[in-house]
Chains A and B, each alone.
Chain A
C-alpha cells in the first residue's frame, strides 16, 4: 500500500520530460533579451495549447522584464493556483516582493495549509473521501451483512481524509478571494464614489484581499491591513481567466 502512495506522489510531483524535443521559441527569445517576442510566443502557446503553470510562470517573468508588474503578478499567482509548488512562479513572486516592492498579504494558517495542494485537488480529495465513506456505510446495509474489516478501515480512512481536507477547502476559498492591482498610481478610497477621499496609495502589482462589490467599486484590504474601495476595473481576480486582461482594449458594448 505504501508503495502505491509513494508512486502516486511521485507522479504528481515529478516534472515530466519536455513534450517538444526542440527548445521553446519563447524561451530562446527570453534568453536573447527579446522579452516582447517571448511574451508574444508564450501568449500564443497559451491560447493554442492552454495555460499551464510553467507557461504562465514563464510569461510572468517576461512581463516583469517589460515592467508590467500587474500582468506579471497575475501570471505568477495563476501559475501557483495550477501548481502551488511551481518554482518559477514562487521565485518570481519572491523577487517581486523583495526587489520590486510588491506588497502581498501574508498567508493565514488556512492558506498555508491549502497551499500544500491545489484548490481543485482539495476538492477532489474531499469529494472522493466523502463518497468513499458513504459507499462503505451504504454497501453493508444494501447487502444486509455486517461491514467487513476493510470497509470499516475505509470508512475511518475516508472520514479522516475528508476532515483533513476541510481546512484545505476553506484556505483555498479564502485564497481565491485575492486580486491583483492592475493600474498604476491609484489609491484606496474611503467611499465607493468618484469623489471618494483617498486613504492610501496602492501600486500596480500589489495583491489585495477583496470583499463585497458596490457601485462599480470593490472593497479591498491591502497587505498592511488598510481597507478601502477600488474601482472594479482597477483590480483583476486571480480565478477566472487564462491570460491577464488587456486593459487597453475597450469592453464590448
Chain B
C-alpha cells in the first residue's frame, strides 16, 4: 500500500512538472530575408507563472557573424503569464541559414531558455537595397487562344531607397483583346518592397498583334525616414507581340463547348432523389478551376425515354470563387430506379495544348408513381376546318335581359375573395373588435381592483404636494403642503379620506417616522385651527419631511 501511494505521488509530480513546462515560439518578418535586409524577430513565451518584465535581455544575445541584432522592446502586460519580446536586425550579406544561438531571458519569477533560431537569407526574395523602383510585366509567354482568359500582373518593385506606394492609370492598348483589372488594384508584394496589380486579357480574334500596357507608379525617394520622403510619379510602358490562334480542330471532342483552362468537376447534386413520374427535379453541377468560366456554353443534355430535360438557368459564382454552376430540370417519364444523364465536358489546356475530358457522375434517383397505361397517338390534321368535328345544333334564342337582384353586371368575373377592400374592411372590423375587447377587459380589471386607481390618484396628489413644498417660500405653506401630501399618501393604506387623517394615522403607516417631527409639522399646519400655533422653525427639518414624502411615494 505505501508503495502504491509513492507511485501515485510520483505520477502526480511528473504531471505537475510536465504542466510547468514553458512554451516558446518565434516569428520572423519577412520569413526569408534578402542579403542585408532589415528584419524583425518576435519571440512569444507562455508560462504557468506570472512573468513580469524581462531583465537584461541583450546580455546573452550573440548573433552570428555578419548579422546585426538587438533587443527592441517588450510588450508588457501586468499579471499575465505571457510575454512578447521584439528584436530587430539586419540579415547578413552571405546567403544561407544563419543560426542565432540559444540564449536565456530572465524574468522575476523564472529563467526562460530560448532555443536556437535560424534566419534564412536568400537573394531570390527580390530585396534590393539600392536601385530605382521598376515595373515588371508577368504574363505567360506562349501562343494564346481565342476566348481564353489570360491572367497577368504588373509587379512594381521598389528598394530601400525608392519605395513604391501606389499606381494609377493602368490601361491597355491592344486590338483584338479585352482587358480587365482583377482583384485589389495595389496588393503588397511578399517581400514588402512593392506592389502588384492583376489583370485579365481575353483574345477575341486570331492574328499577331502588339499589346501595350502603360500606367504610372508613385515612388517615394529618400528612404524610410519620416521627414525626408519626397514623392514623384514615374510612368511605365510594356509592349509585347503576341500570337492568337483558334483552339485546334485536330482532336477536338464533340462535347467541347469553349472551355479553355484547367477545371475540375466540383460536385453534382439533385434536388429530389424520390420524385414522382412527371414531377420535375433539378440537377445541378458545379465546375471549378482557372479559365474562361464566363464563356463556357452549358453542355446539352438530350432527352431520352427515361428523362425529359429542360435547360435551366446557370450562374457564375463570385469572381473570386472561380466556380460556375449548370442547372437542368429533369422530368422523369417512367417509374423505377434511374440514373440521371451524365454531364460531359471537354476542356482545352493552353499550356499543354491538349484536350481533356471531364464528367459529372450520374446520380441515382428512385421514381415513384405509375407509368401511363396507354398512350393515345394523337393524329393532327392541319387541313381540317375548326369546329367541323362535332355538330352544333339546338339552343333556342336566349333572353339576355334576364338577371337576378344581385346580378348587376361586372367588368370581370372575379371572386369577392380576391377583392382587397373586402379583406381590408374585415381587418378593420377585427382590429376594432380587439380594441374594444381589450378596453372592456382593462376596465373590468380596474373595477375589480379599485386600489390601483386610488394609489395612482394618491401618487399624483403626493407628487404635486412635494413640488409645492419644495417651492414654498414661507413655513406655513411648506407645512401645509407636507401635511396634505402625507395625508394623501397614507389614505390608500388606511382606506380613508385624506382630510380625515390625523397625526397618529400617519404614524400607523410610517411607524419609523420621528414623532416629534410629525408633531411639529402638524402643529404648524393645523395649529391655528385648534388654538395652538407652533413657533418652532421647520426649515432645518425640510429634508427629513421631504424624505418622508418620498418614502410614501415610493410605497405607492
Contact = CB atoms under 8 A, between A and B. Distances in A.
Contacts of B277: 190
Given A27-B400, A198-B376, A65 B395 contact: yes
Given A16-B404, A198-B375, A27 B397 contact: yes
A144 B395 contact: no
For chain A, the bracket of interface size reads 35 or more
Given A191-B308, A193-B308, A215 B280 contact: yes
A67 B386 contact: yes
Interface string A23-65: 0101100110000000000100100011111111111010011
A229 B400 CA distance: 36
Contacts of B437: 138, 141-142
B440 interface: yes
A176 B416 CA distance: 12
Contacts of B380: 185
A238 B415 CA distance: 10
B3 interface: no
Contacts of A199: 372, 375-376
Interface residues of B, number: 58
Contacts, number: 208
A116 B503 CA distance: 81
Interface in B392-449: 392-395, 397-418, 422, 426, 429, 433, 436-437, 440, 444
B1 interface: no
The B interface is mostly helix, strand or loop, or mixed, namely loop
Contact of A242 (B303, B381, B389, B410): B410
A81 interface: yes
Interface string A151-177: 000000000000000000000100010
Contacts of A239: 413-415, 418
A54 B331 contact: no
Nearest to B430: A134
Contacts of A124: 416
Given A57-B398, A68-B387, A83-B407, 5 more contacts: A11-B405, A24-B401, A30-B398, A192-B278, A193-B309
Interface of A: 11-16, 18-20, 24, 26-27, 30-31, 42, 45, 49-59, 61, 64-69, 78, 81-83, 88, 91-92, 95, 99-101, 119-121, 123-124, 127, 131, 134-135, 138, 141-142, 144, 172, 176, 184-185, 187, 190-193, 195-201, 203-204, 214-215, 219, 227-229, 238-242
18 contacts: A12-B404, A52-B410, A54-B403, A56-B413, A58-B399, A65-B392, A69-B390, A81-B413, A82-B407, A124-B416, A138-B436, A142-B437, A172-B415, A197-B308, A197-B333, A204-B387, A239-B418, A241-B413
